[in-house]
A and B are shown apart, each in its own frame.
Chain A
């Protein structure tokens, strides 16, 4: 069965530092991959998605992620963290043709001033 692993329930970085949030998936075929952001007491918002086009995907708010098939990874990065990036981030995978997204447990990003 599909699964998604997000390494680290909490990640803390200083403002201006590199943000790296890790996501690994298990799938026998290349899936669709997504990163979502959730601010407190709000719904989830799509940051970016991979659907088998370019392996480096750019999203909103300066985030990007790279699909690495050999590592079954889809890590999320941002060169310089901003205080407004503090939120919870979820990685998700969809089997093509399936109706469900499989979710990681989420990573709470903390930005230190």
Chain B
């Protein structure tokens, strides 16, 4: 069966520090991969999605970037965090537009 791993679960980082969140999927090949963010009291905002290795589409221009170095690995990065980057980050995968399966999320607090 397929599983998705996302870590860390919580993270407190100072303003201006770098960020790296990692997500891996097991049990499937060539999944679509997604990074979402939830700000406090707001819905899901799609940040990036990927349909294959090295293929990244950005939905919202901002301080973040994403990479897919391997088929089932998706990384969210920032060179310098802003206070506004705080939120709940969710990684997800899907099989060609059908339902998405989510990781447990990372609570990022930028201080």
Q: Which residues of A are interface residues toward B (Cβ below 8 A)?
A: 32, 34, 41-46, 49, 51, 90, 92, 94-101, 103-106
Q: Is the CB of A100 within 8 A of B46?
A: yes
Q: Which chain A residues lie closer than 8 Å to B51 at the CB level?
A: 99
Q: Which chain B residues lie closer than 8 Å to A44 at the CB level?
A: 44, 90, 92, 100, 102
Instruction: Mark B75-111 against chain A: 1 for CB-CB distance below 8 A, else 0.
Output: 0000000000000101010101111111111010000
Q: Is the CB of A101 within 8 A of B100?
A: yes
B27 interface contact, C-beta 8 A:
no
Q: Is the CB of A105 within 8 A of B43?
A: yes
Main secondary structure of the interface of A (DSSP, over half): loop
A to B CB contacts below 8 Å, 13 in the list: A32-B98, A43-B6, A44-B44, A46-B100, A46-B101, A51-B98, A94-B97, A99-B96, A100-B46, A101-B94, A101-B100, A103-B43, A105-B42
Instruction: Mark B5-46 against chain A: 1 for CB-CB distance below 8 A, else 0.
Output: 010000000000000000000000000100000000011101
Interface magnitude class on chain B = 20 to 34
In the complex, A90→B104 CA distance in Å? 16
Count chain B CB atoms within 10 A of each CB in A34, A44, A46, A95 and give the residue with the most: A44
In the complex, A34→B97 CA distance in Å? 12
Q: A41-B88, A99-B32, A100-B49 are in contact. Are A94 and B104 (CB under 8 A)?
A: no
Q: A44-B90, A106-B43 are in contact. Are A98 and B97 (CB under 8 A)?
A: yes
Q: Which chain A residues lie closer than 8 Å to B99 at the CB level?
A: 32, 34, 46, 49, 94
Task: State the Cβ distance, B84 to closest chain A Cβ, in Å.
Answer: 20
Q: Is the CB of A99 within 8 A of B105?
A: no
Q: Is the CB of B88 within 8 A of A94?
A: no
